Amino acid sequence: MPRTRSLAWSELKIGLLTIAAIAIALVLIFALTGGKGWFWQRYTLKTRFPNVAGLAAGSPVRVAGVQVGSVREILFAGEQVDVVFDVNKKVQERITDKSIAYLGSVSLLGSSAVDITPTTSGTPIPEYGYVPQGHAKGQFADIAEQASGTIDEVTGLVRDLRQGKGSAGKLITDDRLYSELQQFVATAGQMTREIQQGRGTVGKLLKDPKAANSLEASMKNIEDMTRKLNAGEGSLGRLLKDDEFSKSLTGATSNLKDLTDRLNRGEGTAGKLLTDDTLFKRLNGVTTQFDQLMTKLNEGEGTAGQLLKDKQLYENMNGAVGDLRALITEIKKDPRKYLNVKVSIF
């Protein structure tokens, strides 16, 4: 009998230890699964992605960064992929038709998770309903894609350089361009040496104290002139500083504008000359008649024209004038000879 009682107690201890181990395992599982809850505390949702990028069964599902479930399975749906996941019912009110599901990163090693944005403004999604898909900025996959695009661009750039495209490519592949660049560098170096030796205008300015002093004197003259202008000296200074002079100049400008306006309106002789066609035609007619008169004189028409053209007539008139002068001279010498006055008285 004592032996039988001892065996029963041993079996009882084994059973107790087994129950305790199961309980501990369940507690550990619950602790490791976080807020996913037991199977009766979860419900199933779906979402659809064009690419799951490393997502697998058992990957975490998070709402606002808090793990609330896990991925159950991944199924193909045409050209896209359906992700089926279980979520704790406690967050059912926060997952609505206004929420967005997108792929998040668990680590930099490529592990992914399903992240859902919480919102209470919409209608809660029922079990096996689809959470609208979205796209999160700054994902590791996006960074990798951008890095891949950058690498492709760099590769294309290197290929273009090797093919001699662009200025840099021509510089690498075209010997003539390299020689011209080398010549340009040599010329620049020579010019720098000449400047350092004081040659040329710039070199003298750097090395010759006289050139520097002349430039300094010119700058002082400009400074002095500017100071005088600011002080109101001279006509230009008065124009800048003296209000009366400025008003006089403004008045002269106004008068000139008024005169121009009167001319444009045809006032006065000059205005009529500018705007009246009749006066212009008369002046044009007088000019035409004067041209005709000059033409007749040049052709020798009329007394004046013959006087200008006929040499014999000119000589006769010149001779007559000479004889008249001689007669006047003789009369002055002996007036009685030519002026005999007789007086008779009847």
Sheet containing strand 66-77, edge to edge, reads 42-49, 80-88, 66-77, 60-63, 112-116, 101-105
- Other CB atoms within a 10 A radius of the CB of residue 70 amount to 19
State residue 131's pLDDT score. 92
> CB under 8 Å, gap of 24 or more: what pairs does 76-84 form?
77/48, 79/50, 80/48, 80/49, 80/50, 81/48, 81/49, 81/50, 81/51, 81/52, 82/46, 82/47, 82/48, 83/46, 83/47, 83/48, 83/49, 83/52, 83/55, 83/114, 84/44, 84/45, 84/46
pLDDT digits (tens, 9 = 90+) for 92-134: 898 999 999 988 877 655 578 899 999 988 899 999 999 998 8
Averages of pLDDT over runs of 10 residues in the chain (346 residues) are 53 71 67 54 90 86 90 91 92 90 74 88 90 69 65 78 71 72 80 74 70 77 81 72 72 81 76 70 77 75 69 74 80 70 53
Please report the pLDDT score of residue 51 as a whole number.
86
Per residue in 133-171, pLDDT (tens digit) is 887 554 555 565 666 777 878 887 777 777 767 777 666
pTM over 0.75: no
Tokens of 55: 């997502």
